[in-house]
Amino acid sequence: MNADLGRLLSLQAADREIARLRDEIAALPKRISDVEAKLTTARAQVENARGKIKAGESARRKYEADIQAERQKISKYRDQSLEVKTNEQYKALLHEISFAEQTIRSAEDKILETMVEAEDQEKLVRAAEAELKAQTAIIEREKAEVRARTSDDERELAEWTGKRNQLRSDINADTLAHYDRVLRLRGSGVAEVRDGKCSACNVLLRPQELQEVMTQEAVMTCNSCGRILVVTEPPARPAPKPEAQPAAEASA
Ligand SMILES: [Zn+2]
């Protein structure tokens, strides 16, 4: 077997592993930013619910002041009613009193509504705070994991890069240049031959080519995609024929 073919196959494995590790290292910070985004959402929910509670409180104070003012009006009307001269004036004051009472009732309803709303918002605050606490714990764990994973990946990356450089220095320069060109162009530089085909582009090899490739004596490339062809599995043997069984229904 041509020594470069084995090295090229190992080089391809190294290049793939290096690419995978680089992608993983690049993707790791995203795990943290995902949790941080959840944290930001939970924080905003807490802020929002607290804002609503505050708004509800000031609305409640306003309704209470309104009620106070209406009560003062009523007591003023009652005092005036003792001094009116005509029935018409008296009726007008009664009307004012009933109107003020109406206003008080509606303000009392509003106060109840704000209290119910406040209870709902308190629940939201508690839930969002619990979420915040949980996500804060998760982010600490994630950060530690990401740090550990990144340093593992970087160590592996250094090892693979060392292997890769060694392999590259052992491979024929022209072959290596061809491999690099096809790798850049197609994402891989080596393809296995399977069932008489280039397994990367699926193009059938001509019998003469196939025969030459199977000997593995020279570096050969796929006519269609340009990848360097290697053979990693023994040629498929024909499947053994099932033993002939006497047909059961023929015996009657
Ligand atoms: Zn091909």
Q: Check residue 243 and give its pLDDT.
A: 56
How far is the centre of ligand 1, averaged over its atoms, from the C-alpha of 170 (Å)?
A: 24
Of the candidate CATH numbers 1.10.3720.10, 1.10.620.20, 3.40.50.2000, 1.10.287.1490, the domain formed by 21-170 belongs to 1.10.287.1490
**What's the pLDDT band for 250 if we cut at 50, 70, 90?**
very low
Range with the lowest mean pLDDT among 172-176, 180-184, 189-193, 230-234?
230-234
pLDDT in tens, 61-108: 999 999 999 999 999 999 999 999 999 999 999 999 999 999 999 999
How far is the centre of ligand 1, averaged over its atoms, from the C-alpha of 186 (Å)?
A: 10
What is the DSSP annotation of the chain? --HHHHHHHHHHHHHHHHHHHHHHHHHHHHHHHHHHHHHHHHHHHHHHHHHHHHHHHHHHHHHHHHHHHHHHHHHHHHHHHTT--SHHHHHHHHHHHHHHHHHHHHHHHHHHHHHHHHHHHHHHHHHHHHHHHHHHHHHHHHHHHHHHHHHHHHHHHHHHHHHHHHHHHHS-HHHHHHHHHHHHHHS-SEEEEETTEETTT-PBPPHHHHHHHHHT-S-EE-TTT-PEEE--SPPPPPPPPPPP---GGG--
Is there a contact between 227 and 182 (Cβ–Cβ < 8 Å)? yes
How far is the centre of ligand 1, averaged over its atoms, from the C-alpha of 198 (Å)?
A: 5
How far is the centre of ligand 1, averaged over its atoms, from the C-alpha of 188 (Å)?
A: 11
Name the residue ranges covered by the structural domains of the chain.
21-170, 173-230
Mean pLDDT computed over every residue of the chain = 90
Pairing relationship of beta strands 228-230 and 190-194 according to DSSP bridges: parallel
How far is the centre of ligand 1, averaged over its atoms, from the C-alpha of 125 (Å)?
A: 61
pLDDT in tens, 13-27: 999 999 999 999 999
How far is the centre of ligand 1, averaged over its atoms, from the C-alpha of 225 (Å)?
A: 4
How far is the centre of ligand 1, averaged over its atoms, from the C-alpha of 221 (Å)?
A: 8
Compute the distance between CA of residue 101 and CA of residue 93 in angstroms, rounded to an integer: 12
How far is the centre of ligand 1, averaged over its atoms, from the C-alpha of 187 (Å)?
A: 12
pTM: 0.63
